[in-house]
Amino acid sequence: MDFALSTEQEDFRVAIRRFVDERSPLSAVREAVQTDAGHDTGLWSRMSQDLGLPGLLIPEKVGGSGATMVDAAMVAEELGRGLVPSPYFATVALGVVPLLATVPSGIGAGVQADVLTEVAAGGCTLTTAMTEPRAANSLAPVSLRATATGGRTTLTGRKIQVIDGHTADKVIVVAVSAEAESRYGFYLVDGDAEGLTRTKVETLDLTRPMAHLELDGVPTTRLGEPMSWSEVERVLDRSATLLAAEMVGGLEGAMTLAVEYAKVRHQFERPIGSFQAIKHRCAEMAVELDAARAASLHAAYLASTDDPGLATAAPVALATAAAGFAFAASWDIQIHGGIGFTWEHDAHLYYRRAKADEVLFGSPRQNWLALADRLGI
């Protein structure tokens, strides 16, 4: 009985934390988001090639490190804490996760093995295109349908708000299968495929770039067999687990800004953190951080053991972390007062991330309602 990170995992966490603090302070984040890529490509080379972060979940057989979802979540948490703009989330949560989930049996040959080998080597970034215009929410079943003619499968239609959609080397498109209307598939598309137009768009969250995609007869390969929507959801639960972990980090980052400011800002001849009106909001952030971390760790643990309990643990982790992060990021601005509302202060970076994350995989309310369905209430 041991529900804690191992010494090796703790050491790894500390190393990632130090890396983020040294290599990606918020001043560097602001510079990175100005670039075309929307992230620091040099930093990503270090993360992917030196630290092997995209290969964490990838089996050793195809060049990865065969680590668990707990390790991948831990990295997501540290990157989230520093709002590090990088292809990590899209590549791992939206790329490696569906690739691994659609491997027929064991990882050997096949398109998944090829792509995963490239990703593990640090030479390939991924993402998933899911959301369609006018979707009820970002997790609603998709309607874009694959077409199969003469042994060739193609995709035509529009996908929006694709994270890193303008830079990803390969895009996984969630679509209705060509074979049957009630079946879905993850379809692999090359980033530079003919017929694919990618347009980078303005984003609420400055640190998470997105693109809209136009697909016009784009050649594609389906990963694995067609599946039901609830099977798609089981895959997305694993992706959601990493988003929840990232939000836990963001919550901690926002809380730390608020707490450190409350210690040094003086008004009425005393630090404002000595006022209970401020102190208690900070304490509530700490309570929500603890809750979110517990929920996120539990989901990651269940994901790492392929436990079916993830279907209910994932929405708990998402909704808990999203609500906590939004709370901390809002109060962070309030505690800073006027300076917190300025462009130059970092508080709005966290607030933007929090409010964007809150809807990325369904709002807390949508997740609680999905959970109610899954619990059979």
Partner 1 sequence: MDLTYPATAEEFRQRVQSLIAENVPPGFTGTGALERAERDKFARRWRRTLAEHNLLAVSWPAEYGGGGLSPIEQVVLSEELARAGLPHGSESDMFGIQLIGNTLTVWGTEEQKQHFLPRILSGEDVWCQGYSEPEAGSDLASLRTRAVLHDGEWVINGSKIWTSAAQFANWIFVLCRTDPDAAKHKGISLLLVPMDQPGIEVRPIVNMLGEAIFNEVFFTDARTSAANVVGPVNNGWTVAMTLLGFERGASATTDAIRFEAGLERLFALAREHDRHRDPHIREQLAWCHGRVEVMRSRGYQALTRFLRGDNPGAEAAITKIMWSEYFQRETELAMEILGPEALTPDGRGANGAIAMPDPGTANTSRAWVESALTARSATIYAGSSQVQRNIIGEQLLGLPKEPRVTR
Nearer to partner 1, 229 or 368 (CB): 368
Largest CA distance in the chain: 79
227 touching partner 1, by CB under 8 A: no
277 touching partner 1, by CB under 8 A: no
Pick from 83, 81, 86, 72: which is nearest to 249 by CA?
Answer: 81
Binding test (CB under 8 A) with partner 1, winner from 228, 263, 334, 342: 263
- Alpha-carbon span 73 to 78, nearest angstrom: 9
143 touching partner 1, by CB under 8 A: no
Report, in Å, the least distance between residue 270 CB and partner 1. 6
In the stretch 5-24, what mask flags binding to partner 1 with x, by CB under 8 A? xx------------------
Report, in Å, the least distance between residue 276 CB and partner 1. 7
Q: Are 240 and 94 spatial neighbours (Cβ–Cβ below 8 Å)? A: no
- Alpha-carbon span 371 to 377, nearest angstrom: 9
Interactions with partner 1, residue window 298-327 (CB under 8 A): 298, 301, 304, 312-313, 315-316, 319-320
In the stretch 167-206, what mask flags binding to partner 1 with x, by CB under 8 A? ----------------------------------------
Count of positions on this chain that bind partner 1 (CB under 8 A): 45
Binding test (CB under 8 A) with partner 1, winner from 291, 311, 356, 359: 291
290 touching partner 1, by CB under 8 A: yes
- Alpha-carbon span 37 to 307, nearest angstrom: 37
Pick from 165, 216, 209, 217: which is nearest to 191 by CA?
Answer: 165
In the stretch 346-365, what mask flags binding to partner 1 with x, by CB under 8 A? -------------------x
369 touching partner 1, by CB under 8 A: yes
Pick from 211, 165, 215, 178: which is nearest to 193 by CA?
Answer: 215
- In 10 A of CB 139, how many CB atoms? 22
Binding test (CB under 8 A) with partner 1, winner from 181, 280, 334, 337: 280
Binding test (CB under 8 A) with partner 1, winner from 14, 204, 287, 339: 287
Contacts of 27 (CB under 8 A, 6+ apart): none
Report, in Å, the least distance between residue 73 CB and partner 1. 12
295 touching partner 1, by CB under 8 A: yes
Phi-psi region of 278 (alpha: psi -120 to 50; beta: other; left: phi over 0): alpha
120 touching partner 1, by CB under 8 A: no
Instruction: For residue 184, report the phi and psi dihedrals to the nearest 5 degrees.
Output: -130, 160
Torsion sign (Cα): 213, 217, 221, 224 = positive
74 touching partner 1, by CB under 8 A: no
* Core vs surface per residue 276-301: b (16+ CB within 10 A) or e: eebeebbeebeebbebbbebbbbbbb
284 touching partner 1, by CB under 8 A: yes
**Which tokens in the block code for residue 87?**
């292809």
Report, in Å, the least distance between residue 53 CB and partner 1. 20
- Alpha-carbon span 91 to 354, nearest angstrom: 20
Binding test (CB under 8 A) with partner 1, winner from 29, 43, 70, 97: 70
Nearer to partner 1, 134 or 270 (CB): 270
Nearer to partner 1, 89 or 301 (CB): 301
Report, in Å, the least distance between residue 82 CB and partner 1. 19
DSSP string, 242-281: HHHHHHHHHHHHHHHHHHHHHHH-EETTEEGGGSHHHHHH
Residue type, 148: A
Binding site for partner 1 (CB under 8 A): 1-6, 70, 259, 262-263, 270-271, 273-276, 278-280, 282-284, 286-287, 290-291, 294-295, 297-298, 301, 304, 312-313, 315-316, 319-320, 365, 368-369, 371-372, 375, 377
